[in-house]
Amino acid sequence: MPDQDTLTTRPFIRQGKPAEDRWTLVRDDQAALPEGPVIVPLARWQASEASAELAPWLSSDTELTPELADELGNAPLIAIDFPKFTDGRGYSLARLLRERYGYEGEIRAVGDVLVDQVFFLTRCGFDALSLREDQWLEDALYALNAFSRAYQPAVDEPEPLFRHRLREASKELASAMA
C-alpha cells in the first residue's frame, strides 16, 4: 500500500454526480502533508489542531463511541476506509454517524470501493464515493439509480416500502369513500 493515495486519480462521485476531488488521502501517520486539504488517520487528526483543511479517515474497525462521535462532529468530512470490498463494517459506521449521532457533514467511502457497492453505500449515509482506480464512473452513476425503490428503511429513506404503500392505499380508500 503506498504511503499516499491521491484521490483525484480515482473516479469520484459527490451527492450522486461526478465531482472533482480536491482532498488528498495520506494513510501514513508520519508522512509529510502535501499542500491543500488532506485526509489523515484518525489519531493524527485528533492530535492536530482543528482545521478546515484536515479531515479524519476511520479504519473499518474503529469503535464509534459517543465521545468519538461528538469529536468527529467538528470534522469538515469523515472518510471511512474499505480495506477490501468484502469488509462491510464501514456501512455500519456511516449509518451510526448519520442516524445515532446526527452527523450532517460529508461521509466519504475510500479504499476498495466498487461499482457494485455504490447504491448501498448511499443508502447507509455516504454522500461521497472515491471508487477504486479500475472502476468506471459511468457504471457507478448508472448503479446509483438502478433501483427505483427499496423495501428496507435506511438513512436515505427511513420509511419502509410497506408503510408507504399502506398509507397510499388508505388515502385512495378515503378518497373513494368521500
pLDDT at 1: 40
Alpha-carbon Rg for the chain, nearest whole angstrom, is 18
**Between 9 and 112, whose confidence is greater?**
112
> Where are the chain's structural domains?
4-147, 148-178
* pLDDT score of 127: 95
Note whether 78 and 55 are within 8 A (CB).
yes
Nearest to 64 by CA among 38, 86, 42: 42
Q: What mean pLDDT value characterizes the chain?
A: 89
Domain 4-147 grouped into CATH 1.10.3470: no
Of 4-18, 40-54, 59-73, the range with the highest mean pLDDT is 59-73
Give the confidence band of 47 by pLDDT, cuts at 50, 70, 90.
very high
pLDDT at 5 over 60: no
2-16, 18-32, 35-49: segment of lowest average pLDDT = 2-16
What confidence tens digit (pLDDT) does each residue in 18-30 have?
Answer: 999 999 999 988 8
Question: Alpha carbon of 106 to those of 41, 75, 147, 169, 172: distances in Å?
Answer: 16, 9, 23, 36, 39
Give the pLDDT of residue 17.
96
